[in-house]
Amino acid sequence: MPTFLFDKIIFGPVKSRRLGVSLGINLLPATCKICNFNCIYCECGLTMNSTVKGEPLPSRKEVYEALRERLSSMKEKNQNIDVITYAGNGEPTLHPEFTGIIDDSIELRNKYFPEASIAVLSNATTIHKPSVRKALMKVDQNILKLDSAFDPTVKIHNQPHGDFHVATLIENLKKFKGNLIVQTMFVRGRFRGRVVDNTTPSEIEAWLEALKSIKPSEVMIYTISRDTPETGQLEKVPLDELNKIADRVRETGIKTQVSG
């Protein structure tokens, strides 16, 4: 199926399943996806580049001016937003000026839409860096990915670049001391001849134990709703199954949101 890239720094606002009316910010090139994950369900397609080296990224100043112009215009037109969301064509925390850009967005949000929140959708691969953790701790919705507690599953679902271990990721997630939202994409089917399914009893039990250890403020559970890179290979998980998984999370005392 066809996938898409965001062709501007600022996009939307769009109605988000999880966040409400969201004004998006893309810190990566308009012509290609850059990510150190290669998630098989990604709406932006498969990853061609895993690093930002040599790629034409928007500068901190360009992001500031683009966001200032859009927020100012929306304010004049009495257009409201619920959230300013860092997402776009890959992993936003890979931008070398990410921490300063977050400071700028907080300044502009406070000036134009103080009631709006700021969210970052991240695969959590860079949270071992103190500067990234510090920046993420400043935003209202620090949304970090954990699709499975098992390395083999992550290697199929997320296809991380380089050396990656879920145990290390969980330890880094715990460093936020609950000031984070865990997001998990549940999906099943096949991908290039391999079985895909992170909804099995063993997967759910291990994932729940990880959540108990991380103690996030909230968990966001969802499944595919848009085009994926390969046609007909992946299946949506039915809403009733997602709700049953969510009930298991709620039993641990963690707030849980479901998007079918």
- Rounded CA-CA distance 52/183 in Å is 24
Task: Read off the pLDDT band of 123 (50, 70, 90).
Answer: very high
Classify residue 62: in a domain, yes or no: yes
Residue 114 clears pLDDT 70, i.e. is over it: yes
Residue 50 clears pLDDT 80, i.e. is over it: no
Residue with more model confidence, 30 or 125? 125
The domain in which residue 87 lies consists of: 10-259
Classify residue 1: in a domain, yes or no: no
- Rounded-to-5 percentages of helix, strand, coil across the chain: 35, 20, 45
pLDDT averaged over every residue in the chain:
91
What number of residues does the chain have? 260
Cis peptide leading into residue 216 (ω within 30°): no
User: Which range has the worst mean pLDDT, 85-99, 158-172, 221-235?
Assistant: 221-235
User: Which range has the worst mean pLDDT, 93-97, 142-146, 210-214, 231-235?
Assistant: 231-235
pLDDT at position 55: 66
- The SS3 assignment for 74 reads helix
- Note whether 188 and 226 are within 8 A (CB): no
Task: Read off the pLDDT band of 48 (50, 70, 90).
Answer: low
Classify residue 30: in a domain, yes or no: yes
For the segment 204-237, what is each residue's pLDDT rounded down to a tens digit?
999 999 999 999 999 999 998 877 766 668 899 9
- Rounded CA-CA distance 96/228 in Å is 28
Residue with more model confidence, 245 or 35? 245
Domain of residue 162, CATH code: 3.20.20.70
- Note whether 222 and 18 are within 8 A (CB): yes
Q: What single letter denotes the amino acid at residue 231? A: T
- Rounded CA-CA distance 45/52 in Å is 17
Number of compact structural domains in the chain: 1
Classify residue 5: in a domain, yes or no: no
* CB neighbourhood size of 25 (10 A): 27
